[in-house]
Chain A
Amino acid sequence: MGVDLVSLPQMMIARPIVAGAVTGAILGDVATGIKLGVMFELLQYDILPVGAVRYPEYGPATIAAVATAHAATGVLGLGLGALVGLVTALLGGVSINVLRRLNSGIVHAASATLESGDPRALMRLHVGGVLRDAIRAAIVTAFGLFLAWLARPLLAGPLSARDAIVLATAAVAAALAAGAAGTLRLVGKGPNLGWFAAGLGGGLLVAVWLR
């Protein structure tokens, strides 16, 4: 799933809402998977992957978050899951940058071969990049799952229900803020701002109607 973000095939399998729902379904807790998927999807709005911009990796992060939170009742697992996911996302972002630097070194060293137009060498270098990204993604996901394994016992003891709610409140607030700020950057100050305001109004009406 991790290679989908950049390398192959960019079909949004690693999008948090998808990763969360699929992980939840595998663990038999679709509700938690979707909840954390929604939270990390909002955080994802903060990212516009243009040029060589650096960004956190929220796909494996969502998997780790759901692995932490699943089977915990109510909001107990939500905050702790989000915390594990956020740390995983940070590591994922750093690992992408490290991989790109590593790729740069390898490509630089192979400049003469590439300029000779050898198609086999070109293919070998390219496939090597894909494989390195697959290994990177596997390491990030494994790290996230390890964090989840470390964190899960906290749900049964040291973390009280109130602490868990405070943590979940902070995570939800950050996701909403990131989602709104990221969307406003996309929308800009032009005519789309009116559409965004109209959407917010409609969404508020729906939220009130659902109470």
Chain B
Amino acid sequence: MAAVKGAGLGRALLRLFAVQGSYNYERMLGLGVGVAEEPLLRDLKDGQYRPAVARGARFFNAHPYLIGLAVGAAARAEHDGTPPDQIERLREALCGPLGSLGDRLVWAGWLPFLSGLTLVAVALGAGLGAVAAFLIIYNIGHVTLRWWALRAGWTHGARVSTALHHPALHKATALLGPAMAFAVGVALPVAARFLAAPFPRWGQLGAVVTAGVAFLLLRWRGDRLSGLRVALGLAAVALVVGWIWP
């Protein structure tokens, strides 16, 4: 198991970066999970390896950055001789919590927080430096999270729920929610000014009024409308207005 821990964990981590590569509606991320788990299963005895690989590639869905937790935990459980039905139940039990935690931590926290700060920075003239800083800082958090998840899963095995209660995760989630809300809140008016600054006065006024109406539409019919549909609709209206305006 020591050999697995070194090279195997490294290979599994690299493969985790492509965990969504074969995303499909049948097994969701299952194939990617199986591919990432496979290096950790190589020293299983004959008769154990192939069934473990097959189990690893079954249906799985969660946040891609935290999937390492399931990969490590399932592989460790296979080494510990945990019965197959328990490993299946472990995988099923991890889908929801890993998805929910990852969504709150990354998609609704870390990513929009840094994106909001970047929008403010570029609107204030920081340029390419701000974009480079966004990529570097974001990925420090991203890679750290992937590595931590894989190691924690491998360390705890079937008792991986312990890792999900790590205080740092809960503290980060609690901090990133308000930080994201504040950062994007600042970014919206600053970005609006940045984008509309070259418009004539009537264009600026038109942008504010149209944005207000479009916002209300999105809030009112958010179940049917998306930002893209509203944007395409407004662009079509703008083309017609431009055509009939004498």
Contacts and interface: CB of A to CB of B under 8 A. Distances in A.
Interface string B159-189: 0000000000000000001111111111111
Nearest to A11: B139
Given A49-B107, A117-B50, A122-B31, A203 B188 contact: yes
29 contacts: A7-B18, A11-B135, A17-B119, A41-B115, A43-B228, A44-B115, A86-B232, A100-B23, A103-B23, A103-B26, A119-B53, A122-B53, A125-B22, A126-B35, A129-B22, A130-B22, A169-B207, A170-B237, A173-B208, A173-B214, A173-B234, A176-B192, A179-B184, A182-B227, A192-B180, A195-B178, A199-B182, A199-B184, A207-B193
Interface of chain B: mostly helix, strand, loop or mixed:
helix
A108 B27 CA distance: 9
A172 B205 CA distance: 12
Contact of A169 (B23, B178, B199): B199
A149 interface: no
B184 A133 contact: no
Interface stretch (B2-10, B121-129, B148-156): B121-129
A198 interface: yes
Interface of B: 17-18, 20-28, 31-32, 34-35, 38, 49-54, 57, 61, 64-65, 99, 103, 107-108, 111-112, 115, 118-120, 122-124, 127-128, 131, 134-135, 138-139, 142, 177-196, 198-200, 203, 206-215, 217-219, 222, 226-228, 230-232, 234-235, 237-239, 241-243, 245
Interface in A10-69: 10-13, 15, 17-18, 21-22, 25, 30, 34-35, 37-39, 41-52, 56
A210 B195 CA distance: 13
A168 B199 contact: yes
Nearest to B17: A9
Interface residues of A, number: 110
Given A41-B119, A165-B200, A107 B21 contact: no
A176 B188 contact: yes
A183 interface: yes
Contacts, number: 353
Contacts of A173: 206-211, 214, 234
Nearest to B41: A119
A207 B194 CA distance: 8
Contacts of A211: 193
A185 B200 CA distance: 32
A8 B181 contact: no
Contact of A184 (B57, B182, B219, B235): B219
Contact of A181 (B32, B118, B182, B227): B227
Contacts of B23: 6-7, 100, 103, 129
Interface string A110-147: 00001111110011011111100100000000000000
Task: Give the 4 A-B residue pairs with the shortest CB-CB distance, closest first.
Answer: A199-B185, A178-B227, A129-B22, A117-B50
Contacts of A125: 22, 31
A200 B195 CA distance: 17
Chain A CB count within 10 A is highest, among B99, B111, B120, B207, for B207
